[in-house]
Amino acid sequence: MGGVPPLTTAEAEKLRAGTPAWRLTHQGANLQRRFDFPDFKTVLTFVNRIGAIAEEEGHHPDIAFGWGYCVVELYTHKIKGLHENDFIMAAKIDALMNEFGS
């Protein structure tokens, strides 16, 4: 991924059509989604499932969580912006969320 430039905001917006629950932040350099849950335990389970995907993909999001919520931020450090892989990761996390029932 080192040699490619980050996606432009226009390119990112086009890919975002496949993961519309995510929003672009940091002038289009990051992709973020918030997830809400009824308790802490479910949040922690969800966070661990994301962690497993991250390890499989070798691509690690930034995650902020606490009682009842989790905010996931995707970004490709090597290119200081978004790569198509961030959208693949977002789609995998969306599919995971579907398993959690909302």
Binding residues for a second copy (CB under 8 A): 40-41, 44, 47-48, 51, 54-55, 60-67
Q: Which is nearer to a second copy, 8 or 44 (CB)?
A: 44
DSSP class per residue in 16-85: HTTSTT-EEETTTTEEEEEEE-SSHHHHHHHHHHHHHHHHHHT---EEEEETTEEEEEE-BGGGTB--HH
Q: Residue 76, Cβ neighbours under 10 Å: how many?
A: 21
Q: Which is nearer to a second copy, 31 or 54 (CB)?
A: 54
Tell me the residue type at 11.
Answer: E
Q: Which is nearer to a second copy, 4 or 44 (CB)?
A: 44
Q: Which is nearer to a second copy, 13 or 40 (CB)?
A: 40
Q: Residue 32 CB, nearest distance to a second copy (Å)?
A: 13
Of all helices (H) and strands (E), which one includes residue 91? helix 84-99
Distance CA 7, CA 9 (A): 6
Q: Residue 58 CB, nearest distance to a second copy (Å)?
A: 10
Q: Residue 44 CB, nearest distance to a second copy (Å)?
A: 5
Q: Residue 68 CB, nearest distance to a second copy (Å)?
A: 9
